[in-house]
Amino acid sequence: MAKYQFFCIPNSDRKKYTFLDMASESFLKEKSAILAQGFEVEDDVIYAETSEEAVEKFKSNFVYAVDEYGKADVSYGFAIFIQSIYKKLFKKNA
């Protein structure tokens, strides 16, 4: 899974943004250039399979943060596990 770092122009309500794939060989050089243009690092890195998925996660902002926070909690994983079992049981009986 790739890591993407997003950058925004301050006070643009996250509408003026760009991003970089952190695995790129030119990442540090490109990051310096972006910061020199007035962009600032926005949030934490985003893990995604594709750049399109990363942009979706970035645009969803709050939903993404809540989902990641939930995944870090053991009770969230347990709830998803129970939900999966429930769905499988009722799918077989339907």
**Each residue's pLDDT tens digit, 15-66:** 899 999 999 999 999 999 999 999 999 988 999 999 999 999 898 875 556 6
- Whether residues 24 and 49 share a domain: the answer is yes
pLDDT at position 74: 79
- Whether residues 56 and 79 share a domain: the answer is no
**Each residue's pLDDT tens digit, 67-87:** 666 777 778 778 878 888 888
- Whether residues 47 and 69 share a domain: the answer is no
- Whether residues 1 and 47 share a domain: the answer is yes
pLDDT at position 25: 96
pLDDT at position 93: 53
Q: What are phi and psi of 50, to 5 degrees?
A: -135, 165
Residue 72 sits at the vertex; the CA angle it makes with 16 and 56, to the nearest 5 degrees, is: 25
CA distances from 49 to 21, 32, 59, 74, 88 (A): 11, 25, 16, 24, 27
Q: Which SS3 state, helix, strand or coil, does residue 55 take?
A: helix
pLDDT at position 62: 56
- Whether residues 48 and 81 share a domain: the answer is no
Number of residues assigned to the chain = 94
- Whether residues 54 and 80 share a domain: the answer is no
Contact assessment for residue 39 and residue 8, using Cβ atoms and an 8 Å cutoff: yes
Q: Is 11 exposed, middle or buried (0-12, 13-18, 19+ CB in 10 A)?
A: exposed
- In the chain, the number of structural domains is 2
- Whether residues 5 and 39 share a domain: the answer is yes
Domain interval for residue 87: 62-94
pLDDT at position 65: 61
- Whether residues 13 and 43 share a domain: the answer is yes
- Whether residues 53 and 79 share a domain: the answer is no
